[in-house]
């Protein structure tokens, strides 16, 4: 039919209006729910001053209410837990150190199960790159403190659970006092200094420590300092050299893997709090998500000469753990300083040089998986690992690229090569390697510099459309 | 004559990254001190020296101190090298 009748046009118009109104309603509903979430977090932030007041111990509980019986009925009928166990959970307090990939699922299950009080420690704010694994935080609260976002979510889940947010880093000055106010401690942190700090504070305060960690497709969980069992230092007396430690930002992690570990950690906390006793004291459970395997490794017993829990401990108060581990507890990416300022250029200077059309080679040394995410089209890609292994094919490729770009330039002048990576650490390592290769004349004369801050700085300062990851 | 056996070495976390593999089968003496066993593995992957002081070295899923303790190994035994991970 070539044209519509008047009544049909009217019907079309009103259908469009209905759709438009529906869209507007759902937009405003979303806006309202986002405002409500922000309000809840803001209200909690207002109460933050409370944290300076010592939290009083939870009073013993004699019986469950009718509502509590209904709410916890599925776990109450488990003979191993029962009313007795549930009453113990209701008067238990747990300190959650870190509200990230482990802390979120852990706190969620502890609140759901009816643990009386949850202390939440984290200095950090919610970022968009957290949302794929830190499941208590929503889009609406990006930029807010994680502890307030988590507390608001936990309150929505179970209003009877008392959440105490501490929007601060755990430090040697605050850790002991804080840990003494709680019955069980869950280490959900993401760095080595905090792991030693939490361990030592738990040993000094006499608290059991349920410690989990995850990276890439792997997870580990152990209960330390429980019933005469070993502490973290018994197993790892010396911290690893800082340059051998990979964090989740650099190494990556799959959210489900932190979720699995956070849930196992919650299970151990619940068993301790309910009086059932943990399963992973004196043992380490490792989860290999790629192989789909769990392995339980029998650990050594307490080390008589342990610096923290041994016969004659040298750790009698909390120390400077960042110095002890040679790394920061709050810096997300370590910045290496391998090169002198003359061996480096800023993204701004590199952009100027690029625009001038002056002949040079830009070498991207990131792993292939990161180049697949985003790249500068004019860069040559050779992963750092290939340079480290002096991969013949890669060096050939590099030599060819240099000769090609050098055509028509003055032969005698050292050819400029700029090295770039994600953040400006690997690029410095690559510069060192290229310098050593030119020194032994495996490559011709070059001046090699790296781009400070890497592609992250490029995205921040030069090209706002370039992806950040 | 030294009797040898085939054991499976599993590499986790940083050690898998250093070794470039996640497992391998190697031939070792049936009777060997724990430290010697580690040294044989380190000889195959010298980069492991970086983590030797921070690993859990487990034989048949049990922690073993890197020392003079003599191990009795059989073919098929599982050796695991487990550096701590700290992410979360
Ligand atoms: Zn100890």
Residue spans of the domains in chain B: they are 4-82
Binding residues of A for Zn(2+): 231, 234, 306, 309
| Domains present along chain A, CATH in parentheses | 52-325 (3.40.50.720), 341-462 (3.40.250.10)
Q: Which fold has domain B4-82?
A: Ubiquitin-like (UB roll) (3.10.20)
Annotate A375-419 with DSSP letters as a single string. --TT-EE--HHHHHTT-HHHHHHHHHHHHHHHTTS-TTSPEEEEE
The verdict on a CB contact (< 8 Å) between B88 and A188 is: yes
Instruction: For residue A104, list chain B residues with Cβ-Cβ distance below 8 A.
Output: none
Other Cβ atoms closer than 10 A to A144: 20
Tell me, yes or no, if B81 comes closer than 8 A to chain A by beta carbon: no
Cα-to-centroid distance, A467 and ligand 1 (Å)? 45
Quick check: A428 and A338 in contact, CB under 8 A?
A: yes
A3: confidence class by pLDDT, cuts 50, 70, 90: low
Structure tokens at A1: 């039919």
Q: Per the structure block, which two tokens stand in for A184?
A: 């069980």
Prediction ipTM score: 0.95
A336 burial type by CB count under 10 A (0-12 exposed, 13-18 middle, 19+ buried): middle
* Residue A183 phi, psi (nearest 5): -85, -40
> Which B residues, 28 through 57, put their C-beta within 8 Å of a C-beta on chain A?
50-51, 53-54, 56
Nearest to A135 by CA among A293, A32, A263, A292: A263
Examine the residue annotation and report whether A248 is marked as an active-site residue of this protein: yes
pLDDT at A1: 46
- Residues in a beta bridge with A166: A121
Closest chain A CA to residue B79:
A297
Best CA proximity match to A183, nearest among A53, A72, A89, A61: A89
Q: For residue A192, what is the enclosing H or E element?
A: helix A192-205
pLDDT digits (tens, 9 = 90+) for A402-441: 999 988 777 678 899 999 999 999 999 999 999 998 887 7
- How is A421-435 classified by DSSP, letter by letter? -SSSSHHHHHHHHHH
User: For the ranges A42-46, A413-417, B71-75, which has the lowest average pLDDT?
Assistant: A42-46
The whole-model pTM stands at 0.87
Of A251, A290, A299, the CB nearest to B87: A251
Interval A212-239: pLDDT, tens: 999 999 999 999 999 999 999 999 999 9
Contacts of B59 in chain A (CB under 8 A): none
pLDDT in tens, A141-197: 999 999 999 999 999 999 999 999 999 999 999 999 999 999 999 999 999 999 999
Average pLDDT, chain B: 96
């Amino acid at each position: 039919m070539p044209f519509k009748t008047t009544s049909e046009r009217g019907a079309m118009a009103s259908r469009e209006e209905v759709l438009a109104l529906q869209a507007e309603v759902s937009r405003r509903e979303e806006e309202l729910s986002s405002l409500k979430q922000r309000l809840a977090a803001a209200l909690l932030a207002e109460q933050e001053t409370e944290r300076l007041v010592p939290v009083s111990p939870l009073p013993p509980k004699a019986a469950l209410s009718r509502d509590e019986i209904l709410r916890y009925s599925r776990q109450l009928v488990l003979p191993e837990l029962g009313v007795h166990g549930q009453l113990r959970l209701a008067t238990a307090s747990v300190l959650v150190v870190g509200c990230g990939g482990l802390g979120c699922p852990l706190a969620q299950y502890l609140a759901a199960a009816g643990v009386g009080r949850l202390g939440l420690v984290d200095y950090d704010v919610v970022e968009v790159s957290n949302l794929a694994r830190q499941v208590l935080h929503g889009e609406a609260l990006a930029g807010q403190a994680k502890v307030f976002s988590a507390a608001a979510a936990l309150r929505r889940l179970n209003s009877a659970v008392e959440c105490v947010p501490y929007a601060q880093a755990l430090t040697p000055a605050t850790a002991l006092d804080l840990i003494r106010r709680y019955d069980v401690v869950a280490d959900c942190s993401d760095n080595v200094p905090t792991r030693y700090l939490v361990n030592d504070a738990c040993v000094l305060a006499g608290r059991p420590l349920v410690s989990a960690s995850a990276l890439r497709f792997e997870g580990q969980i152990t209960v330390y300092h429980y019933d005469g069992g070993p502490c973290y230092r018994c197993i790892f007396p010396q911290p690893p050299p800082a340059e051998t430690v990979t964090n989740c930002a650099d190494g990556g992690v799959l959210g489900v893997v932190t979720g699995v570990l956070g849930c196992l950690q919650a299970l151990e906390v619940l068993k301790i709090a309910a009086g059932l006793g943990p399963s992973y004291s004196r043992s380490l459970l490792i989860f290999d998500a790629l192989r789909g395997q769990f392995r339980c490794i029998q650990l050594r017993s307490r080390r008589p000469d342990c610096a923290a829990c041994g016969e004659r401990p040298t750790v009698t108060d909390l120390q400077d753990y960042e110095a002890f581990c040679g790394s920061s507890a709050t810096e997300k990416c370590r910045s290496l300083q391998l090169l002198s300022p003359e061996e480096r250029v800023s993204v701004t200077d590199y952009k100027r040089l690029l625009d001038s059309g002056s002949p040079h080679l830009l070498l991207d040394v990131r792993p292939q998986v990161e180049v697949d995410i985003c790249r500068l089209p004019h860069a040559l890609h050779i992963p750092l690992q290939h340079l480290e292994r002096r991969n013949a094919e890669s060096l050939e490729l590099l030599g060819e690229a240099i000769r090609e770009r050098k055509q028509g330039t003055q032969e005698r002048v050292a050819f400029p090569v700029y090295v770039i990576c994600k953040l400006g650490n690997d690029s410095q390592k690559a510069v060192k390697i290229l310098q050593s290769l030119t020194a032994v004349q495996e490559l011709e004369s070059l001046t090699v510099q790296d781009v400070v801050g890497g592609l992250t700085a490029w995205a921040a300062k030069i090209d706002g459309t370039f992806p950040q990851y | 004559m030294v009797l040898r056996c085939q054991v499976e070495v599993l590499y986790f976390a940083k050690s898998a990254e250093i070794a470039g593999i996640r497992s391998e089968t190697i031939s070792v003496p049936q009777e060997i001190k724990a430290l010697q066993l580690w040294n044989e593995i380190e000889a195959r992957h010298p980069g492991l020296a970086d983590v030797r002081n921070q690993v859990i070295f487990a034989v048949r899923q049990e922690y073993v101190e890197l020392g003079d303790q003599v191990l009795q190994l059989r073919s098929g035994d599982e050796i695991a090298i487990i550096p701590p991970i700290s992410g979360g």
